[in-house]
Amino acid sequence: MIIPLFSQQYTMLHDMVAAHSIVRVSVYRANEEAEEILSIDLVPGDIMLIPPNGTIMPCDAVLISGTCIVNESMLTGESVPVTKTNLPDPSSSREGQDEIYSTEVHKRHTLFCGTNVIQTRFYAGEPVKAIIVRTGFSTSKGQLIRSILYPKPTDFKLYRDAYLFLLCLVAVAGVGFLYTVVNSILNQVPASTIIIESLDIITITVPPALPAALTAGIVYAQRRLKKLGIFCISPQRINICGQLNLICFDKTGTLTEDGLDLWGIQRVDHARFLLSEEKACSEGLVKSHFVACMATCHSLTKIDGVISGDPLDLKMFEAIGWILEEATEEETALHNKIMPTVVKPPKQPGTELKPADSEEMFLLLLSLLFCEQQQDTAFSLLTS
């Protein structure tokens, strides 16, 4: 009874994954001309064109030109979009040596299968392109689906103890069986009666309905989960849930508030903390290096005219009340990949923000060069 239900859920999940993965994409192949093909025909080495309005990635690919803003919540659970930059040119590296591509090492240049490309940005008129490195079940999404469809065999202590308990019952039943047979023979009991009484001892000691009772509970629980739209492909784990007394969630937003608020700031002057200040946008702090650091040390970007990024960076930037301006697509097409982003307080001279190149950003958590346009001075903010 449990096998048909498991097979049905397995088939539904497999068909749902297969149907979701088939899309039409544009690729560059030997003739160096873009052609549209189905995602199931993609092979490693194809150069994929990323649409300007975004797409769902059907494979794992590494960016070779342009930048992308990607939502990786499908894989990581994080709802904050991340910025992916193109793979740096090995000839321009400091060591002057070629690097072997690795998904873990070059994660910030890799577009993973199943993630949602929200927005792209090209430079010098070159379209956003990526080289396909993995397809099918070899991708990050494929490995996740494979672990769901083919879970590792469960080996819980509960089941080991249950089997040990059954073995003990079998041993007791064996002793009772031998005792009944020997005692009946000595008392010259008929053979038919000996067989019935001996087997009766075994059925009393080891209940034949015990496995059926355990299976019935799993089947009913799995049916209730199915009615709620929950796929269960490892029914043995359902019984383990009955032992749980406490469940801990490790992600903010599941049971707690999904958001942060900035209460205030506390500056340091000559290795001593100053008094706390609740308003970071006060006139006395507008020209301070502290607020300039808050305005520039972040990874915020604009998506459809709305500032997006890490919630902590977003709250910090909103608290100071500054304005973030990015280059338009027309301006981006006329320049190289290092484009200035301007942040400025309301009705104040602007502060030009120049992000470091991708190799420096790999070595530093944040490296920013900003200059005050009015005073013609520059500051470098480095944090490791």
Positions annotated as catalytic residues are 250
Is 120 in contact with 68 (CB distance < 8 Å)? yes
Dist CA 267 CA 273 (whole Å): 6
Check the CA dihedral 117-320-297-340 and report its sign.
positive
Using N-to-C axis directions, what is the helix angle for 289-296 and 311-320, rounded to 10°? 140
Rounded to whole angstroms, the Cα distance separating 5 from 13 reads: 12
SS3 of residue 176 by DSSP: helix
In terms of Cα–Cα distance, which of 249, 295, 223 is closest to 8? 223
What whole-number distance in Å separates Cα of residue 71 and Cα of residue 56? 10
DSSP string, 262-326: ---B--EETTEE---BS-TTSGGGTTSHHHHHHHHSS--EEETTEEES-HHHHHHHHHHT-EEE-
Spatial CB neighbours of 134, under 8 Å, sequence gap ≥ 6: 44, 59, 60, 113, 140, 142
Q: CA neighbours within 13 Å on the CB side: how many for 270?
A: 0
- What does the radius of gyration of the chain's CA atoms come to, in whole angstroms? 32
